[in-house]
Structure 1
Amino acid sequence: MTTTRSRAERAAQARAAEAQLTADGIDGVVFGWVDNAGLTRVKSVPLAQLEHAAQYGVGALPCFDVSLVDDSFTTTPSSTGPMGDLRLVPDLDRLTPLAAQPGWAWAPADRYTQDGTPHPGCQRDFARRVTEAVERRGLSVRAGIEIEWVVADAAGDPATAGPGYGMTRFIEHSDYLREVLRALTGQGLDVLQLHPEYAAGQFEVSVAAEGPVEAADTTMLVRHTIRAVSIRHGLRVSYAPVFTEGEIGNGGHLHLSLWRQGRNLGNGGPGRHGLHPDAEHFFAGVLAELPALLALGAPSVASYLRLVPSRFAGAYRCWGLENREAALRLIAGSTAGQANAEFKCFDATANPYLAIGGVLAAGLAGLDAGLPLPPETRSDPATLDSVERLPASLPETADAYEKSALLRQALGAELYEAVLAVRRAESELFATHTDADLIEAVRWRY
């Protein structure tokens, strides 16, 4: 990654990139990061400033570590309010001209302190650190996040009410979807599926699995691209957990597979459904920590309007082969390389770096402890008294997170405390909202 290089190496890379971007008609570069409320924040520079930014970064307020979904702020023992500054350093390995925003390129950014050391609150650095811990055990991870969104018209109503997964909806928006597809593939992304989803106005796209940090980067890029294409078609986009009260919402399902020496550990092993022992221990670790992990993967108050039984949201702390009501759905895949686990309880309000990093940390803990995978749930868990329901509100999730020594150690005290502070503050912010008021308050924030 770019940020592991010296300043001189980053400068040389930026000069080479600038020459190509100039030829491509690019005028400026956007640097993006995701805060602890799940909102994408950006700064940009003209192309002539790319070399300087690659060497030294651009300024970024540290108070965004404790920013809320409504742009207000909370505090932690380590937060400095309006004092201090950080440096956003773009990762030029992911520098991408934006197909739906002519003249602009994009790169994800890492956050550094003024003295050039990684910021303890940098979520992308957290995901990188946990990934490196996985690799030190001789393992690798392939990951991807499904992107679901609702398109709305200028009045804010779903742009189509055609049947879920229906051809009617696809035909009504075929030109729009074709441009989404062209923009994504034009940016070098390997699109696997693009289709209408269940709720009114809802669509979904899936891209090929990558390394953990790369998958989180791609999630950001895909969401930006969809929004930009939508605007060009006179449409509005919402990734919020629930767009319409009482309907199925937008998920951000995390797909993950564990590998050793080129072998997928989700297939061909002696365990249930071909799982290798390391994969069983890893997934057991995630299940054990799942209530606390929701603070990273289902982090908004509105997440819990989506995370309810009988809506394919994975509201139960269990696993099962192709069980779409289980939080952990095991997918056998049509080939050995496609076997993976899908974490269905996550949504698009999650910071993808936190969600992926937290799952990896919990999985490693399960692997190190040799945790046994619990019995499989082979039917709808809503019909079984023996299956535990996941937390039904953000305050419940925040309580579980606050008790998690594992996540405190993995995230580091500063990032851990910032996440907790944001969860507590947003719980208080929306404590008196009705469901309808809550949906309205966050619908266009994501």
Structure 2
Amino acid sequence: MNQMQEEVLSRVAANNIRFLTLWFADVSGVLKGVSIDPGELEDAFTEGIGFDGSSIEGMTRIYESDMLLRPDASTFQMLPWDEEHRMARMFCDVLGPDGEPAYSDPRGVLERQIKRAEELGFTFRVHPEIEFYLLRAVTDLKSEPEPLDRAGYFDHVSGGMAHGFRRKVVSTLEDMGINVEFSHHEGGPGQNEIDLRAVDALSAADNMMTLRTVINELANQEGVVSTFMPKPFRDEPGSGMHLHLSLFEGEENAFYSPSGQYQLSLTGRRFMAGILRHAREIAAVTNQHVNSYKRLWGGGEAPSYVCWGHNNRSALVRVPLYKPGKSSSSRIEFRGMDSAANPYLALAVVLAAGLRGVTEKYELPDETEDDVWMLSDGERQAMGIEALPRSLSEAVHLMANSDLVADTLGEEVFEYFQRNKRAEWTEYRRQITAWEYEYFLNITN
């Protein structure tokens, strides 16, 4: 065992931990876990904990089902919402029976892409802004849910439950060692946002999974419903997960140049050009559900077109300039991802697209200063502005023809993800909606 694993064993004993939960994600981004007795932890570090991989979505085929979980000691944290039972968690890497990394492990997909960035001399840092809705308890899933409040952007409602709920979430996250930068009410009724501080990409993805779990756990305790559904209400904003991205070379921000436009370096411009060029083909991963495209095409400042800008809130990628002259703050903001994405796979394809732009020296197209939604189709075409996919079906078709996505995800995840998303689209197409009943049954002959 290494020193960090020994330190975890000591912390488990010192804090009288009764249950250790080993977390990992399936290909769809659903959190999975198994609890072990603390006495099994040493063996888990050295040999792994066996499980049936064929029972986990996309993990393996039934005739090769034996897999192992090996906890990552650097992710050890107490779970503060159940002090009575003294619980802690660690994220795990998924291994095959031979002890080698499983290519179907979403966390492993991101780790492989991070390693490629490191081989180029870069560390990938991510600061996510995560939006979600709080709803009153649902008794009938066939009726439209009711938001917890009617507040709006940055509203502070004295005595309102949302403010207290966010405070509990932030306190819980910080108790777990996850630093929060901001939290506030968002634009929709019952909609909230929590922004996590920038960290390395793997920690960021782990933090996103943890935040969703904390929010769902605390909402359950409060008797309300939390949802990361991209577009829960037709006439209200959807929930995105804006990503502030940067590459570092050692302690130096590779995106910073004091003489560059908006202080963005050539590396930063090429990274952004990579994201823009491949945005359509990675959309199935960054926006993985049929409902995701109702967010992208339903208004409320969600990006619908592939372009970049500075203060342009209609752009897919922005270059914030909040702290001129401060090199560490130079970054780009990718606005396309939603809160229901698998963060491991989404960060992996975003990083791969950006690195492709850097290594192949993509030219950044001209900045778009206009409100893209207000332009005509002809004007957008003349400016070379493409549309993001309008449906999950279109997104999966683009993904299927993408060498970049195939190389990034690996054969197992690439093939399973397509099958899973095509099945979702097929099932969705079979549904008859309330709108169709209202429209067609009111037609007079």
Q: Provide TM-score, normalisation by structure 2.
A: 0.88
Distance 1:434 1:64 in 2: 31
Quick one: higher RCO (CA 8 Å, sep 6+), 1 or 2? 1
Alignment of 1:27-426 (within 5 A): 27-63=18-54, 66=57, 80-81=61-62, 83-102=64-83, 103-155=86-138, 157-168=146-157, 171-308=160-297, 310-334=299-323, 335-384=326-375, 385-386=379-380, 387-426=385-424
Contact 1:101 1:228 in 2 (8 A): no
Contact 1:241 1:303 in 2 (8 A): yes
Displacement after TM superposition at 1:210 (Å): 0.8
Displacement after TM superposition at 1:280 (Å): 1.0
Letter of the structure 2 residue corresponding to residue 231 of structure 1: N
Distance 1:191 1:198 in 2: 20
Distance 1:368 1:382 in 2: 32
Call closer, same or farther: CA 1:145–1:22 in 2, change over 3 Å: same
Secondary structure (helix, strand or coil) at the match of 1:105 reads strand
Q: Which 5+ residue runs of structure 1 have no aligned equivalent?
A: 1-7, 68-77, 438-446
Distance 1:366 1:132 in 2: 17
Letter of the structure 2 residue corresponding to residue 252 of structure 1: M
Distance 1:21 1:145 in 2: 30
**Higher alpha-carbon Rg:** 2
Contact 1:111 1:119 in 2 (8 A): yes
Secondary structure (helix, strand or coil) at the match of 1:110 reads strand
Distance 1:435 1:303 in 2: 17
Distance 2:4 2:33 in 1: 21
Query: Which stretch of the first structure deviates more once superposed, 244-253 or 369-378?
Result: 244-253
Call closer, same or farther: CA 1:310–1:240 in 2, change over 3 Å: closer
Distance 1:244 1:434 in 2: 18
Distance 1:192 1:92 in 2: 25
The superposition leaves residues 335-366 of structure 1 with CA deviations (integer Å, 9 ceiling, x where unpaired) of 33222111111112211111111111111111
Letter of the structure 1 residue corresponding to residue 131 of structure 2: E
Contact 2:60 2:104 in 1 (8 A): no
Call closer, same or farther: CA 1:204–1:435 in 2, change over 3 Å: farther
Query: Which stretch of the first structure deviates more once superposed, 355-364 or 417-426?
Result: 417-426
Letter of the structure 1 residue corresponding to residue 79 of structure 2: L
Query: Which stretch of the first structure deviates more once superposed, 359-368 or 253-262?
Result: 253-262
Partner of 2:425: 427
Contact 2:133 2:190 in 1 (8 A): yes
Letter of the structure 2 residue corresponding to residue 289 of structure 1: H
Distance 2:211 2:321 in 1: 26
Alpha-carbon RMSD: 2.2
Number of residue pairs matched?
418
Contact 1:61 1:82 in 2 (8 A): no
Distance 1:85 1:284 in 2: 42
Contact 2:156 2:163 in 1 (8 A): no
Letter of the structure 1 residue corresponding to residue 301 of structure 2: F
Displacement after TM superposition at 1:273 (Å): 1.8
Call closer, same or farther: CA 1:378–1:413 in 2, change over 3 Å: same
Contact 1:88 1:111 in 2 (8 A): yes
Letter of the structure 1 residue corresponding to residue 38 of structure 2: L
Letter of the structure 2 residue corresponding to residue 113 of structure 1: G
Query: Which stretch of the first structure deviates more once superposed, 189-198 or 13-22?
Result: 13-22
Percentage of matched positions with identical amino acids: 28
